[in-house]
């Protein structure tokens, strides 16, 4: 599997020259697996991903959404391939109960007046919307298994583990930990994983100020990965106030604690 980072920020895009090295687009990570990729989240990073799909004529993909806060869906209306009738996309989420109307209704709400001029119905691709319950395990197709877990985040969120050909990639954002206590759901999800992409919005030093905001720290990511025997950790969902120098400083510090850590960088691909 190839894991490509199209957007690594949390909260808000930050398009400034001081953010170019790690990138300013919000959450979007593509896992290239055979000819049908899997895409985690639809932050603004999905816009350049969409251009790439048009250029390479990628016609099918599955979008696995952690949740529907803006920074994870605000690129969706600008995902150009979804307007092309020759293509088909499956959109899945695990945090919306049927009473909330499910994922289709949440995305349609984002694309309705007076918030947005083009309704979801204008997207001419074949779109399938599936709601599952965070914690479920399912096959996307033969040999491509998805395990999920509920995360600790306001309004809910889902963590993912994708397994293919004996390798595994986990995408765990947005989630808040409890200090001194591992989240058993996450520990189980990331056990022995080849790559864990983890919510590293804050540092442990900053964390007490942000309890209840629904995010975690790079230090907790390291602790979790070590406890779960995971092989590599990508720090992700960088805070929009952290410029390149600040993210690089965190990466340096993290590497001293555990050499298998790196800070996710927009535009890079990791082979798993
Ligand atoms: Zn977020
Ligand atoms: Zn969120």
> pLDDT for 67-90, tens place per residue?
999 999 999 999 999 999 999 999
- The CA-CA-CA angle for residues 242, 246, 248, to 5°, reads 125
Q: What per-residue confidence (pLDDT) applies to 262?
A: 98
Cα 85 to averaged position of ligand 1 atoms, centre (Å): 30
- Tell me how far the alpha carbon of residue 169 lies from the centroid of ligand 2, in angstroms: 20
Ligand 2 is an ion; its neighbours by CB within 5 Å are: 69, 174
Domains in the chain, number: 1
Domain range for 76 is: 2-271
Query: How remote is the CA of residue 69 from the centroid of ligand 2, in Å?
Result: 5
Q: Coil, strand, or helix at residue 175?
A: coil
Compute the distance between CA of residue 164 and CA of residue 97 in angstroms, rounded to an integer.
28
- Using the structure block, give the residue that is written with the tokens 């919510």: 199
CA 128–ligand 1 middle distance (angstroms): 24
- pLDDT confidence of 101, banded at 50, 70, 90? confident
Alpha helices of the chain — where are they, by DSSP H?
Answer: 46-56, 70-73, 102-110, 184-190, 218-228, 244-257
Q: In what order do the strands lie in the sheet with 38-40?
A: 126-131, 88-93, 60-65, 38-40, 28-32, 2-7, 269-271
99-130 burial by CB neighbour count: b if 16+ within 10 A, else e?
eeebbbebbbebbeeeeeeeebeebebebebe
- Cα(180) to centroid(ligand 2), Å: 23
Q: How far is the CA of 153 from the centre of ligand 2 (A)?
A: 7
Q: Please tell me the distance between residue 33's alpha carbon and the centre of ligand 2 in angstroms.
A: 26
* Measured distance CA(208)–CA(142) in Å, rounded: 44
**End-to-end Cα separation, the chain, in angstroms:** 5
pLDDT at 32 over 90: yes
pLDDT in tens, 214-268: 999 999 999 999 999 999 999 999 999 999 999 999 999 999 999 999 999 999 9
pLDDT above 90 as % of the chain: 96
The predicted pLDDT at position 16 comes to: 87
Q: What CATH number does the domain containing 125 carry?
A: 3.60.15.10
Give me the residue label for tokens 């092309």: 84
- Global confidence as pTM: 0.97
Determine the distance separating the centroid of ligand 2 and the alpha carbon of 158, expressed in angstroms.
10
Asked whether residue 34 carries a pLDDT value surpassing 90, the answer given is no
Give the ligand at the shortest distance from the Cα of 41. 1
Q: Which ligand approaches the C-alpha of residue 40 most closely?
A: 1
pLDDT of 98 reads 66
Q: How many CB atoms lie within 10 A of CB 31?
A: 24
Following CA atoms 196, 151, 5, 11 in sequence, which dihedral angle do they give, to the nearest 10 degrees? -140
pLDDT band at 97 (very low <50, low <70, confident <90, very high): confident
């Amino acid at each position: 599997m190839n894991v490509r980072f199209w957007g690594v920020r949390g909260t808000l895009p930050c398009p400034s020259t001081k953010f170019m090295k790690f990138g300013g687009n919000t959450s979007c990570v593509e896992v290239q697996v055979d000819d049908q990729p899997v895409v985690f989240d639809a932050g603004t990073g999905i816009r350049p991903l969409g251009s790439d799909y048009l250029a390479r004529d990628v016609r099918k993909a599955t979008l696995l959404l952690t949740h529907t806060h803006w920074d994870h869906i605000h690129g969706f209306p600008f995902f150009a391939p979804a307007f092309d009738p020759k293509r088909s996309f499956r959109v899945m989420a695990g945090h919306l109960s049927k009473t909330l109307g499910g994922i289709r209704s949440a995305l349609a709400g984002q694309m309705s007046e007076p918030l947005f001029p083009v309704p979801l119905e204008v997207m001419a691709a074949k779109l399938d919307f599936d709601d599952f319950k965070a914690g479920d395990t399912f096959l996307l197709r033969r040999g491509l298994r998805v395990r999920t877990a509920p995360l600790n985040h306001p309004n809910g969120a889902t963590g993912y583990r994708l397994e293919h050909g004996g390798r595994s990639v986990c995408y765990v954002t947005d989630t808040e930990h409890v200090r001194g206590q591992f989240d058993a759901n996450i520990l189980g999800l990331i056990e022995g994983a080849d790559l864990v992409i983890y919510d590293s919005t804050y540092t442990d030093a900053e964390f007490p100020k942000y309890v209840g905001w629904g995010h975690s720290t790079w230090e907790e990511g390291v602790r979790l990965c070590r406890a779960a025997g995971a092989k590599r950790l990508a720090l992700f969902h960088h805070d929009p106030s952290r410029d390149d120098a600040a993210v690089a400083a965190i990466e340096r510090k993290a590497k001293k604690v555990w050499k298998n850590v790196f800070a996710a960088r927009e535009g890079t691909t990791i082979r798993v």
